[in-house]
């Protein structure tokens, strides 16, 4: 009797184990994509970070067209909270059609770089630039101060940041951006089916882990292995937050190109709003090492920041120019990539994967488990 | 690739035989002073520091540090900062490996106008 129980137990264990397809090495790699959500760490460069009053003011301003010169646009016009803080448009439409796809605004706290070209090294600067960009909100520092002074938000502003009339317009601009940043820091994607799988593996609970669909597991194996995806999409956010050539054309027209990281660095290094600048509230200037030490290279041209894959099923279309409509198209792009389009002096990471239809479906199945919802 | 230069002036006299920590780096130069590298666990896509110890009797006048990923034909995206913290010990800050895989640490040390190159392989999962 005892023997039969033992045999049955071994057999049962084998069956359960067989449903977790990952090798020990793949399991160890999988653990590196969590835990999720990450611990909350206030931004030392922003005195308003983690302050409930600043968060509330930022949330209200985000939805209000007072931040555009003519009241025509709010942040939420392009970063629609109902659409995962982006829109379905391939390229953003501010006052004119812009050059790039609108990035989602979730999971932004604590990144090293912001924007497709990384023109900001902190979230309040990334919040500030659209307010004064001519093609976006188009405020001047003076018009913004006037608009806030005349708005219902002036008392909240003064409760947090002091008397507005005595402050110069640039200071008001920075403080508004810091309130927005305090709000944006709170936007975090929910836990997902993948996180349950990852945490079950960490607990060595293979029975629980086996609930993760086999198609997604096969997709994860491709993601970690032959697909080379994890070279750039790594860590709990599924992004190394650096810049790469993904083989997507960067010509805007016959005569214009999107310079990508090259242009982002030009902007960054001439900006007063970096962590190395005077507007940083942190006397220790933590994080300023990156802007001080970042290298410039011709291969930055046409490179774009690795986007996070958390919530990716909700943020179509994809790539810096929104040129790929869905996840299937993205996987096929990498499967059939035209290596002639890659920089000759750039990363030699990508090659034509020649995935089968089953493998494409598996990779898409995996990517979909990184979202708690699909596109509303 | 274009290699970058970190400048530093040795504030002390000649480096001498020392109690090195870490692993000895490789060099093709015969009878070159030994250089040892001490590195803790390397975090992926996050900054980290290493210690380099030079064991020899000749003063170090300059040190250049870099790292490349031979399989991918790229280096680091940031310039590390070299700080002398003792007669023969240097701390290298702001190293950042933004991809998993094999990296080659490259150190050029100048002694009396002569440069000796050292390498050491690091694997990052």
- Domain with residue A318: its CATH number is 1.10.760.10
Residue B10 has pLDDT above 70, yes or no: no
Across residues A177-186, what is the average pLDDT? 98
User: How far apart are alpha carbons B120 and B117 in whole angstroms?
Assistant: 11
C-alpha A161/C-alpha A168 separation (Å) is 12
Range of the domain at A316: 22-37+190-258+305-376
- Judged against a pLDDT cut of 60, whether residue B9 lies above it is answered with no
**Is B94 touching A (CB cutoff 8 A)?**
yes
Is B7 among the domain residues? no
Q: What percent of chain A has pLDDT over 90?
A: 84
Query: Per the structure block, which two tokens stand in for B92?
Result: 């290298």
Cβ–Cβ contact B64 with A under 8 A: no
Give residues with Cβ within 8 angstroms of A260, minimum separation 6.
Answer: A116, A117, A243, A250, A300, A301, A302, A303, A304, A320
Lowest mean pLDDT among A75-79, B47-51, B83-87: B83-87
CB-based contact A235 B72, cutoff 8 Å: no
In whole angstroms, give the CA distance from residue A342 to residue A374. 31
Residue A15 is predicted with a pLDDT of 45
User: What would the pLDDT profile of A33-92 be if each residue is shown by its tens digit?
Assistant: 999 999 989 999 999 999 999 999 999 999 999 999 999 999 999 999 999 999 999 998
Mean per-residue pLDDT, A246-264: 90
Best mutation site among B73, B79, B81, B124 for testing chain A: the one with the most A CBs within 10 Å? B73
Spatial CB neighbours of A150, under 8 Å, sequence gap ≥ 6: none
Burial of A251 from C-beta contacts in 10 A (0-12 / 13-18 / 19+)? exposed
Q: Number of folded domains in chain A?
A: 2
**Are A76 and A155 within one domain?**
yes
User: What is the pLDDT confidence band of residue A106, given thresholds at 50, 70 and 90?
Assistant: very high
| Residue B9 included in any domain | no
Please report residues of A whose CB lies closer than 8 A to that of B100: 230-231, 234
CATH number at residue B53: 2.60.40.1930
Window 225-264 of A, Cβ < 8 Å to B? 230-232, 234-235, 240-243
Supply the ipTM of this predicted assembly: 0.88
| Residue among A227, A228, A240 with most chain B CBs within 10 A, to mutate | A240
> b/e string for A9-39 if b means 16 or more Cβ within 10 A?
eeeeeeeeeeebebeeebbebbeebbebeee
Please check whether residue A8 lies inside any domain of the structure: no
Residues of B in contact with A230 (CB under 8 A): 100
State yes or no: pLDDT of A6 exceeds 70.
Answer: no
Measured CA to CA, the distance from residue A113 to residue A130 in angstroms comes to 16
> Alpha carbon A83 to chain centroid distance?
15
The pLDDT, as a whole number, for residue B2 is 39
Q: Is the pLDDT of residue A166 over 80?
A: yes
A317, A113 in Cβ contact below 8 A?
no
Q: Does a cis peptide bond (omega within 30 degrees of 0) precede residue A317? A: yes
User: Residue A179: pLDDT above 60?
Assistant: yes
- Domain for residue B12, yes or no? no
Q: Is residue B102 part of a domain?
A: yes
Least confidently predicted of A215-224, A240-249, A285-294: A240-249
pLDDT for A5 beyond 90: no
Give per-residue pLDDT as tens, A112-130: 999 999 999 999 999 999 9
A7 occurs within a structural domain: no
Counted domains in chain B: 1
Domain coverage including residue B45: 23-124
Closest CA to B96 of B118, B72, B75: B75
Which among A28, A230, A295 has CB closest to B78? A295
Cα dihedral across residues A74, A376, A323, A368: positive or negative:
positive
| C-alpha pair distances (Å), A295 with each of A133, A291, B79, B101 | 26, 9, 6, 21
Q: Which of A276, A300, A324 is the last residue of a domain?
A: A300
Contact yes or no for B76 and A32 at CB 8 A: no
- Per-residue pLDDT, A347: 62
Question: A58: left (phi > 0), else alpha (psi -120 to 50), else beta?
Answer: alpha
Cβ contact A348–B101 (<8 Å)? no
Instruction: Give B11 to chain A, closest Cα distance, Å.
Output: 24
pLDDT the model gives residue B1 = 38
**In the β-sheet with B74-75, what is the strand arrangement from edge to edge?**
B74-75, B60-69, B101-111, B114-124
Which of A11-20, A123-132, B106-115 shows the lowest per-residue confidence on average (mean pLDDT)? A11-20
Are A251 and A331 in a shared domain?
A: yes
Helix axis angle for A169-184 and A123-132, nearest 10°, is 120
Q: Which residue has the higher pLDDT, A196 or B71?
A: A196
pLDDT in tens, A332-376: 999 998 887 776 555 667 888 999 999 999 999 999 999 997 655
């Amino acid at each position: 009797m005892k023997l039969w129980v033992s045999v049955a137990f071994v057999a049962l264990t084998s069956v359960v184990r067989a449903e977790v397809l990952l090798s020990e090495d793949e399991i160890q790699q999988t653990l590196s994509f969590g835990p999720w959500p990450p611990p909350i760490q206030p931004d030392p460069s922003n005195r308003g970070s983690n302050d409930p009053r600043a968060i509330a003011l930022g949330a209200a301003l985000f939805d209000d067209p007072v931040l555009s010169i003519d009241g025509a646009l709010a942040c939420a016009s392009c970063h629609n909270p109902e659409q995962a803080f982006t829109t379905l448009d391939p390229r953003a439409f501010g006052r004119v059609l812009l050059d790039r796809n609108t990035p989602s605004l979730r999971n932004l706290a604590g990144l090293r770089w912001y924007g497709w070209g990384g023109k900001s090294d902190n979230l309040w600067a990334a919040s500030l630039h659209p307010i004064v960009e001519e093609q976006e909100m188009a405020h001047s520092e003076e018009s913004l101060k006037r608009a806030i002074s005349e708005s219902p938000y002036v008392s909240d502003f003064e409760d947090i940041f002091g008397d507005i009339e005595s402050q110069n317009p640039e200071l008001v601009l920075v403080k508004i951006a810091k309130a927005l940043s305090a709000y944006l820091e709170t936007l975090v994607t929910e836990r997902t089916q993948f996180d349950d799988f990852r945490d079950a593996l960490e607990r060595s609970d293979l029975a629980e882990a086996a609930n993760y669909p086999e198609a997604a597991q096969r997709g994860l194996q491709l993601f970690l292995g032959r697909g080379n995806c994890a070279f750039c999409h790594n860590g709990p956010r599924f992004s190394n937050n650096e810049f790469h050539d993904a083989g997507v054309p960067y010509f805007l027209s016959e005569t214009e190109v999107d310079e990508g990281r090259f242009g982002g660095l030009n902007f960054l290094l001439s900006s007063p709003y970096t962590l190395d600048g005077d507007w940083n509230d942190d006397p220790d200037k933590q994080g300023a090492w990156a802007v001080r030490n970042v290298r410039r290279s011709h291969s930055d041209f046409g490179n774009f920041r690795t986007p996070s894959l958390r919530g990716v099923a909700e943020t179509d279309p994809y790539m810096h120019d929104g040129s790929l409509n869905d996840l299937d198209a993205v996987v096929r792009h990498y499967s059939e990539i035209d290596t002639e389009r890659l920089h000759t002096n750039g990363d030699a990471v990508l090659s034509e994967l020649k995935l089968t239809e089953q493998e494409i479906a598996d990779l898409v199945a995996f990517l979909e488990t990184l979202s708690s919802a699909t596109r509303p | 690739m274009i290699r970058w230069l970190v400048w530093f002036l040795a504030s002390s006299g000649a480096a001498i035989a020392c109690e090195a920590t870490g692993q000895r780096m490789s060099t093709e130069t015969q009878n070159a002073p030994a250089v040892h590298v001490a590195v803790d666990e390397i975090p992926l896509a996050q900054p980290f520091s290493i210690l380099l110890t030079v064991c020899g009797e000749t003063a170090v006048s300059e040190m250049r540090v870099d790292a490349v990923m031979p399989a991918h034909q790229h280096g680091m995206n940031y310039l590390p900062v070299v700080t002398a913290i003792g007669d023969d010990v240097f701390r290298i800050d702001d190293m950042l490996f933004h991809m998993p895989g094999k990296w080659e640490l490259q150190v050029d040390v100048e002694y009396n106008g002569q440069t000796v190159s050292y390498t050491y392989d690091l694997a990052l999962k």
